[in-house]
């Protein structure tokens, strides 16, 4: 990998016809450089601008044009009209693709170049997080140190949005830094992705997508994947096993956040292994504290961990400890107890008004049969009795919802606000 691959991406040293992106149309390095140069000149003088674009090739042109113009790039979490309505200076597909000049001179990207994200966390409250291009570049270099030799020049396809850090890094910035082409499309369904899948491709996906492989035929031998990366939430073991059977590749889970970037990886239910350059530090309360090579700083999160050789075991979130009836209740422990029951496939818990604990459960086939036979009230009483053998009374949910799937955002995270919405009637009382 070249020195400073993202800062010097457009210095003219790549072969002009080398492929940046593919899909409905191919984007070569020469066309990429000309598009960025033209758009960058039209953006001079902007201190910041929001960038929202579904096409990943157009998005990347806009991203580098803004950075070469010296503007801070703000990424809305999605391209929905309601989200974009509150933001100024939105760049859309037409604006990005409008300029096709002959002059390809570009001002260098300054050291202050950055990208800002909005993350809602577990509560739904938006939070703006700024990451410098230098940090993003160091993360791309770190990822290539870990997997570059194995992946070589494999093309990249994604089912997650580049408007979030995971998609931006794994689908666009890391491939750009390493010289891999990426698919300009974001595939929303498996049929679309599989029909477009070249040999030895890299797939950037999420638990939400990998949990929906049911009914998909195993890949033919000429479409074997080089790697599958998943992030955003824990990947259920059943989904990992299904991916290994159908996609012929065991997914690699990525541990991280918008604040930290990617910091560790694992496969199946193994312990998390740190990515190169990261170093865990002791914390008196058992929280994750580490030295990050991305900014050279010490990072501390609300993740509870147990140190392991070369990594850690994730125990849950410290901010998911609730006080119910005067007792400390670990919501992750309640969820693990629920999932251990034969009638529950997956579950999430939420604290409601009046310190009441609610449970939202996706049922297994046997659980659905029991629900149909007993009804919701009697079935929830049955689940409460089963939980009583291993949980304190305060930790047993009082209110229940049985749903086809958990309310998730695109990367598979479940937010407290979305769960509370399912109990709107009880919250109002």
| CA gap 233, 335 in Å, rounded | 14
CA angle 196, 55, 75 (to 5 degrees): 135
| Model confidence at 155: pLDDT above 70 | yes
Residue 379: beta bridge partners?
Answer: none
| CA gap 224, 276 in Å, rounded | 27
Are 66 and 111 members of one domain?
yes
In this structure, what token pair is assigned to residue 126? 């938006």
CA-CA-CA-CA torsion sign (415, 419, 420, 422):
positive
| Model confidence at 90: pLDDT above 70 | no
Residue of 140, 163, 75, 161 lying closest to 114 (CA atoms): 75
Residue 117: beta bridge partners?
Answer: 75, 129
Distance of CA 252 to the CA centre of its chain: 13
Are 64 and 159 members of one domain?
yes
Report how many domains make up the chain: 3
Are 246 and 341 members of one domain?
no
What's the pLDDT tens digit per position in 357-409? 999 999 999 999 999 999 999 999 999 999 998 898 989 999 999 999 988 76
Are 89 and 133 members of one domain?
yes
What's the pLDDT tens digit per position in 284-331? 989 999 999 999 999 999 898 999 998 999 988 777 788 887 787 889
Residue 266: beta bridge partners?
Answer: 253
Range of the domain at 147: 19-270
For residue 6, being part of any structural domain is answered with no
In this structure, what token pair is assigned to residue 22? 């593919």
Phi-psi region of 412 (alpha: psi -120 to 50; beta: other; left: phi over 0): left
Average pLDDT of the segment spanning 123-143: 87
| CA gap 419, 28 in Å, rounded | 45
pLDDT for res 98 = 40
Mean pLDDT rounded to a whole number for the chain: 89
Pick the last residue of a domain from 261, 287, 317: 317
Are 175 and 110 members of one domain?
yes
Pick the last residue of a domain from 270, 305, 335: 270
CA angle 124, 127, 128 (to 5 degrees): 150
């Amino acid at each position: 990998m070249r020195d400073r691959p993202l800062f010097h991406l457009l210095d003219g040293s790549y072969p002009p016809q080398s492929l940046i992106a593919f899909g409905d149309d191919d984007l070569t390095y020469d066309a990429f450089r000309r598009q960025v140069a033209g758009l960058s000149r039209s953006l001079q003088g902007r201190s910041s601008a929001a960038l929202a674009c579904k096409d990943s090739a157009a998005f990347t042109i806009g991203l580098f044009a803004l950075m070469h113009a010296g503007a801070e790039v703000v990424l809305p979490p999605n391209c929905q009209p309601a989200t974009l309505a509150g933001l100024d200076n939105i760049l859309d597909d037409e604006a990005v693709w409008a300029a096709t000049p002959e002059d390809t001179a570009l001002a260098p990207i300054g050291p202050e170049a950055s990208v800002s994200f909005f993350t809602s966390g577990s509560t739904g409250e938006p939070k703006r997080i700024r990451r410098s291009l230098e940090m993003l570049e160091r993360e791309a270099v770190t990822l290539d140190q870990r997997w570059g030799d194995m992946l070589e020049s494999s093309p990249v396809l994604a089912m997650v949005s580049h408007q979030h850090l995971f998609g931006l890094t794994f689908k666009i910035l890391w491939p750009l830094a390493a010289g891999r082409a990426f698919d300009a499309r974001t595939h929303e369904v498996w049929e679309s992705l599989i029909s477009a899948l070249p040999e030895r491709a890299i797939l950037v996906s999420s638990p939400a997508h990998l949990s929906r492989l049911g009914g998909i035929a195993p890949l033919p031998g000429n479409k074997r994947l080089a790697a599958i990366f998943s992030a955003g939430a824990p990947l259920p073991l059943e989904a990992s096993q299904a991916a290994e059977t159908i996609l012929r590749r065991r997914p690699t889970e990525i541990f991280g956040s918008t604040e930290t970037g990617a910091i560790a990886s694992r496969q199946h239910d193994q312990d998390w292994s740190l990515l190169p350059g990261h170093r865990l530090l002791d914390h008196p309360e058992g929280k994750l504290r580490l030295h990050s090579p991305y900014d050279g700083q010490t990072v501390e999160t609300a993740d509870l961990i147990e140190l392991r050789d070369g990594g850690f075991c994730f125990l849950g979130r410290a901010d998911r400890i609730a006080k119910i009836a005067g007792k400390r209740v670990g919501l992750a422990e309640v969820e693990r107890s629920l999932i251990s029951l034969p009638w529950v496939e997956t579950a999430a818990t939420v604290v409601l008004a009046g310190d009441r604990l609610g449970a939202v459960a996706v049922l297994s086939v046997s659980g659905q049969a029991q629900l149909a036979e007993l009804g919701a009230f009697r079935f929830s009483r049955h689940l409460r009795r089963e939980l009583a053998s291993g949980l304190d009374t305060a930790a047993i949910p009082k209110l229940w919802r049985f749903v086809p799937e958990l309310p998730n955002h695109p990367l598979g995270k479940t937010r407290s606000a979305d769960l509370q919405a399912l109990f709107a009637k009880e919250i109002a009382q």
